[in-house]
Amino acid sequence: MRKISQFAILPIFISCFLGTAQAADPVGHPQVATTRSTANLKPYMSKFGSMLASLEIIQLKEKKPDWEAIDIALKEMSQTLADMQKADKDKAYQEYTDVLAAGMVELNEKSAKRDKSFFRSLDKISEGCFKCHAAHRPGDYLIPKNDKDLLTKDAPSDGTK
Q: How far are the Cα atoms of 91, 97, 106, 141 from residue 102, in angstroms, in the given order? A: 17, 9, 7, 25
Decide if 73 contacts 54 (C-beta within 8 A): yes
The pLDDT of residue 85 is 94
Residues 1, 103: Cα–Cα separation, whole Å: 26
DSSP state of 159: S
What are the residue ranges in the chain where pLDDT is below 50?
1-35, 148-161
Among 107, 144, 139, smallest CA distance to 126 is for 107
The pLDDT of residue 86 is 94
Classify domain 6-145 by CATH architecture: Up-down Bundle (1.20)
How do the domains of the chain map onto residue ranges?
6-145
The pLDDT of residue 26 is 46
Enumerate residues 6+ apart whose C-beta is below 8 A from 89. 40
Largest CA-CA distance found in the chain, in angstroms, rounded = 49
**Overall pTM > 0.75:** no
Instruction: Give tens-digit pLDDT for 42-72.
Output: 889 889 999 999 999 999 998 899 999 999 9
* For helices 94-112 and 67-87, angle between their N-to-C axes, nearest 10 degrees: 160
> Could you tell me the end-to-end alpha-carbon distance of the chain, in angstroms, rounded to an integer?
13
Residue 24: strand, helix, or coil: strand
Residues 83, 110: Cα–Cα separation, whole Å: 23
Query: Quick one: 160 exposed, middle or buried, by C-beta within 10 A (0-12, 13-18, 19+)?
Result: exposed
